Amino acid sequence: MSEFSHISEQNEVSMVDVSEKQPTKRQAIARVKVILPEEIAKRLREDGFRTPKGPIFEIARIAGIMAAKKTGELIPLCHPIGLDHADVKMTLEKNEVIIICSSSVFAKTGIEMEAMTGASIAALTIYDMCKALSHDIRITDLELLMKTGGKSDYRKEAS
């Protein structure tokens, strides 16, 4: 196991210096689940995933993309990067909304936190839009599925 990259030799929190790194194409995919009570999932299907607040999936998609773009502002030691692409897709399987956020950039660092932030905020947006129907909504299983570019690549093994 390697050392934490955000701790200096003096054992202080530190932003990683990426000034000497070469840019590479980086891509990441993250997933999260929003588990709805069955009666809420049924009602949303019947209503075409619309509430008085608007179309749930479209608003969550926009929120996720916006959040991915702002990751460097939200997470203290994350480098601000200009995303080349971010996308959020959602599907409803029984009573679970599966959210997949993908992001890419040509840069010296980053991209997995952007995908995870986008997925997280999309999930929280769904919660916000559905909480009037029920507070018994769970957000679970936020995970990085894949990252390429940089020092090492990662792919989650199938479970």
Q: Catalytic amino acids?
A: 128
Strands 96-107, 85-93: pairing kind: antiparallel
Residue 25 structure tokens? 């194409």
Q: Which one, of 67, 76, 134, lies nearest residue 99 by Cα?
A: 67
How many other C-beta atoms lie within 10 A of the C-beta of residue 59? 17
Q: Which residue has the tokens 């990441």?
A: 28
What are φ and ψ of residue 17, in 5° steps?
A: -85, 115
